[in-house]
Chain A
Amino acid sequence: MWSRLVALLSRLRFALVRRRVDEEAQRELKAHLDLLIDRYVGLGMTLDDARNAARRQLGNSLLVREEIHNMNGVRWFEEFCRDIRVAIRQLRVSPGFTALAAITLALGIGANSAIFALVDAALLRPLPFPDPDRLVMVWERTARFPRGVVSSRDFDDWQTRNRSFDVMAGVFNYARRLSTPDGTVEQIPAQQVTPRFFDLLGARFVVGRTFLPSDVAVPPNVVILSEGLWRDRFGGDPAVVGQTIQLDAQPFTVVGVVAANFQGIPPARLWTVWAELPGMDARAVRFMRVIGRLKPSVPLTTAQSDLERVAAELAREYPATNKETSVTVDPLRDALVGRDIQSTSMLFLGVVGFVLLMCCVNVANLLLARTAGRARELAVRAALGAGRSRIVRLLLTESVVLAAIGGVLGLVVGVVILRIAPSVIPQDFLPPVVVLSFDVRVAWFCALIAFAVGIVFGVAPAWQATGTSVVEVLTSEGRGTTKAGGRLRSLLVIGEVATAVLLLCGAGLLLRTLVALGSVDAGYRANDLLTVQPSLDYGAPTAMFGSEDALRQFLERTEREVTSLPGVDSAGWGTSLPLAGFSPLPVEIVGDQAESSGRGVLADRQLVSSGYLPTLGVPILAGRGFTEEDTANSPPVCIISEALAQQHFGGRDPIGMRLSVPQLHLGPTRPVVREIVGVAANVRRDLGEVDESRSIYVPIAQNPWSFVLLLVKPAHGRAEWLAPAVRAAVARVDRRVPLAQATLDDVMRTFTTAPRFRAMMVTTFAALALVLAMVGVFGVLAYSVQQRRREFGVRIALGASTASVLRLVLASAGRLIGTGALVGLVLAAVFAQSISTFLFGVRPLDPLTFAGVMAVLGATATIASAIPALRASQVDPVVAFRND
């Protein structure tokens, strides 16, 4: 077996250099003959006799050469090479056709490769950790939130009571301020983790060690650096291990540097060990993301039910915090990539796959027309003895060669697309684990689809060409095309139109979604605000300010300083922005048993300064807004939104009533009874189907908190122009505070990033599909007009008017496009349901979208069919009597 294979391979090797092999054999035989002659002359023969004797002894050297020649051939291989040569010759004969076909294919294949790179990164490529299949993410599940963060105590109990995990670890983002000897402070993306985080993910250390259980300390005092930070800030010096660095003005000892290929979850640049703060209600405060490594061959479902058991125990033991909570276990990839990206990339792949199919159909159409023109050549081949399979092979080789050219160009297109993709794909659309790259897998995919495509669009012409009778073609004076070919081409075009309609409907729905999202009235009137986010320590009181009072003073002084800046109209602190998400918090209406004990009142609590609502442009509908008189020492007050007033006060005037609102506090939460002093207009908290705008505003002076944003409204001009002045003003109050800035519009735009990108991509592809379909329609009509020139000539000669010929062509165009559109609409109705998760503010069967698609199709179809129709009507009747 093995030696056979070796022989076949070397046969192929020799076959490639057969001419040289033959020359060598010839030379050897000649040398052999000369030696024999020498020998016989040496034995005393005359030269002539010696020559004859030598020839006799050597035998027929021509026969030997032929034997060697045949030995080195592989018949199918030779035929294959010959077919390729024929194919290339054919393609060179008509460069226009070749270029058109190759470019069409290159676009289709290139777009597919690029989208495949996305799918590969989002769904297929294993995560960059050892044994990634065993990695999961564990969430706390409640009826309302299937995936929530976890409290550290629950994490501890999950870890000790489970039976299906090797290791579990908790992680949460916690930006750190790194001080350098020159006094500057840089904010570093950092995380706090439980000690076995790095073991779990199989991280490799450049120097030093991983965290140990003994590293847990209050306050935390050891740190692990990423290789990148180590090189940037510490010059890649291994001696940094054991040194002390300043984080948030606290000393930390460096214990290790983790290798650059390690990605955090999400990527971070340094890590510290999490430790429970004294006095915090550790079971109530939920902040951790929990990852786990399953024991070998433990399925996800087992782990899920195992942890559900643990969660049920905890719910019984700690009903105050854990009632009705359970767990959700996800594969880590799904959790990191996000289902939205996964389904979006599948949507793109489906759409771009349709586009590729249309590229194939167009090229198949071109080929069909050409093959019909070559019917005579093929008939001659058949008459000379080429079998049906031989001709099919010839034609398929042509299409595969064409596809190969398209594939190579497609590879280039794919590389270019991926090169420019980062500037087109909105920031934050792709999570950090999804890295687009053109690698071997994508190249393989590209080669594979090029080959498949070559077969797909080659089969139709080959089938058509061999289905005809040789005699019929040879005797038909080369005039006719085959009826079957025409029908096949019409069917292909109908398919194209249907696909274009399908994609256009999808694009239309996504565009309508975008419009609906854009026109969502979030409820605030401000249109150009600067948002400034200081990096203070999470929670209050903080290491930075020492006391709640100091924090309160920082907030008040900053607001005053910024408001007094020239060019600033107003400014105000708040804990969140509109549309940032609805975080329900149970509150009680004091003295209203029915409401509180029954349905319960849920509202989103926000801590705001007196300037917040006026700056955001939220009108007070009743009562008053906050003023500077609402201080830490004045009576506790709050403002509620109109939605909350309507839903829970049933027509009663809420002003003067009292609410029991939990304080935002790291420790055990203590509710504070607050008097409602005003009702504010609704501001949407999220972009859900239901308008969710139940809010409670609490003066930040009465509940200081450091995770805050300052909104600044310009008196005139653009908000972003204020940034330098605002930064300077904050620095005047406290120069230790790093700031992140954005405009409100920027922030709001991030909420519509994904829908906008989806709509843009699908619309682009749909437009491409429409163009391809119209090229197909044009091609088929133009070709059939060309074929029927004689018929049109006769008609015109017999007195048919221009209008009637036009009608004739347009009617056949109408039949094609109408049928295609109908099929496409039916398909769209079926497929629309599958993208309903991407839709907002529009139903899947939106009549307006479907009608719009028909209008676009009608307009473009008219253009595509007008030219062939006009050409038909201008046929010179003389052609009817000429024989070409």
Chain B
Amino acid sequence: MLQGTLDLMVLQTLDTMGPQHGYGIARRIEQISEEALKLNEGTVYASLMRLLQRRWISASWGTSENNRRARFYGITKAGRRQLTAETENWERIAAVMARLLRGAEHH
């Protein structure tokens, strides 16, 4: 899977679901992708580190639902801006790709 895609999915997840720990993010992505994306779940943490470095998300330690200490991640203002920009970008590329591929079929 593309690195940037995973980052975007993580951001989107945090935006819609609010603060989450890594496990929760992995579950959410698993759920909405209907297991179409076979995920090497550990890579979520590399993605989270990348996003932390850019200050698009923030992290804090808390307690998970089963009373384990877990790190919760939340999207920041800058992250939300980035998400909007990336989403638009993504939709544009997706549309172009769709047109291009459909054109190829017709040919």
Contact = CB atoms under 8 A, between A and B. Distances in A.
Contacts of B42: 29, 32, 58-61, 63-64
A567 B94 CA distance: 112
B49 A28 contact: no
Interface in B17-61: 21-23, 26, 39-43, 45-46, 49-50, 52-55
Nearest to A25: B45
B54 A67 contact: no
B69 A71 contact: no
Contacts of A32: 22-23, 26, 41-42, 45
Contact of A71 (B39, B50, B78): B50
Contacts of A57: 39, 41
A643 B49 CA distance: 93
B16 interface: no
Nearest to B61: A24
A755 to B, nearest CB: 64
B70 A68 contact: no
A277 interface: no
Interface in A1-20: 3, 6-7, 10-11, 14
Which of the listed residues B23, B50, B64, B68 has the most CB atoms from chain A within 10 Å of its own CB? B23
A34 B68 contact: yes
Contacts of B64: 31, 35
B68 A71 contact: no
A38 interface: yes
B53 A71 contact: yes
Contacts of A36: 23, 41
Contacts of B66: 35, 38
Given A11-B53, A31-B69, A32-B22, A71 B46 contact: yes
B53 A28 contact: no
B40 A68 contact: no
B53 A14 contact: yes
Contacts of B78: 3
A64 B45 contact: yes
A21 B78 CA distance: 23
A72 interface: yes
B106 to A, nearest CB: 40
A31 B68 contact: yes
B13 to A, nearest CB: 15
Nearest to A14: B53
Contacts of B52: 10
B66 to A, nearest CB: 7
Nearest to B40: A59
Contacts of A64: 42-43, 45-46
B80 interface: no
Which of the listed residues B22, B40, B53 has the most CB atoms from chain A within 10 Å of its own CB? B53
B49 A72 contact: yes
A641 B66 CA distance: 111
B54 A28 contact: no
Contacts of A58: 40-42
B16 to A, nearest CB: 21
A28 B26 CA distance: 13
Contacts of B43: 59, 64, 67
Nearest to A67: B46
Contacts, number: 74
A679 to B, nearest CB: 93
B65 to A, nearest CB: 10
A31 B70 contact: yes
Contacts of A7: 53-54
B45 A29 contact: yes
Nearest to B24: A35
Interface string A441-477: 0000000000000000000000000000000000000
Which of the listed residues A32, A34, A38, A61 has the most CB atoms from chain B within 10 Å of its own CB? A32
Nearest to A11: B53
Which range holds the interface residue count of chain A? 20 to 34
Contacts of B70: 28, 31
A81 to B, nearest CB: 19
Interface in A600-657: none
A25 B47 CA distance: 12
Contacts of B53: 7, 10-11, 14, 71-72
B45 A31 contact: no
Contacts of B82: 3
Contact of A35 (B23, B46, B55, B71): B23
B45 A68 contact: yes
A251 B67 CA distance: 87
B49 A71 contact: yes
Contacts of A61: 42
Interface string A65-90: 00110011000000000000000000
A694 B62 CA distance: 96
A552 B19 CA distance: 98
A36 B66 CA distance: 12
Contacts of A38: 66
B31 to A, nearest CB: 13
A557 B49 CA distance: 96
A72 B48 CA distance: 12
Nearest to A68: B49
Nearest to A60: B42
Nearest to B52: A10
A310 to B, nearest CB: 64
B74 to A, nearest CB: 15
B49 A31 contact: no
Contacts of A29: 42, 45
A182 B43 CA distance: 89
A68 B22 contact: no
A34 B26 CA distance: 14
A3 B41 CA distance: 27
Contacts of B23: 31-32, 35-36
Contacts of A68: 45-46, 49
B83 to A, nearest CB: 13
Contact of A24 (B39, B54, B55, B71): B71
B91 to A, nearest CB: 21
Contacts of B71: 24, 28
Nearest to B41: A58
A106 B45 CA distance: 50
A445 B64 CA distance: 54
Interface string A134-178: 000000000000000000000000000000000000000000000
Interface in A31-69: 31-32, 34-36, 38, 57-61, 63-64, 67-68
Which of the listed residues A10, A28, A34, A60 has the most CB atoms from chain B within 10 Å of its own CB? A28
A534 B40 CA distance: 98
Nearest to B46: A67
B22 A6 contact: no
A71 B45 CA distance: 12
B50 A6 contact: no
Interface in A499-545: none
Contacts of A11: 53
A7 B52 CA distance: 9
A209 B69 CA distance: 69
Contacts of A35: 23, 64, 66, 68
Contacts of B46: 64, 67-68, 71
A24 B61 CA distance: 10
A35 B23 CA distance: 8
25 contacts: A3-B55, A3-B78, A3-B82, A6-B54, A7-B54, A10-B52, A27-B69, A28-B21, A28-B71, A29-B42, A29-B45, A31-B69, A32-B22, A32-B42, A35-B23, A35-B64, A35-B68, A36-B23, A58-B40, A59-B42, A60-B40, A60-B42, A64-B45, A68-B46, A72-B53
Given A6-B55, A28-B22, A32-B26, 13 more contacts: A7-B54, A10-B52, A10-B54, A32-B23, A36-B23, A57-B41, A58-B41, A58-B42, A64-B46, A67-B46, A71-B49, A71-B50, A72-B49
- Across the A-B interface, give the 4 residue pairs with the lowest CB-CB distance, nearest first: A59-B40, A64-B42, A59-B42, A67-B46
Interface of B: 21-23, 26, 39-43, 45-46, 49-50, 52-55, 64, 66, 68-71, 78, 82
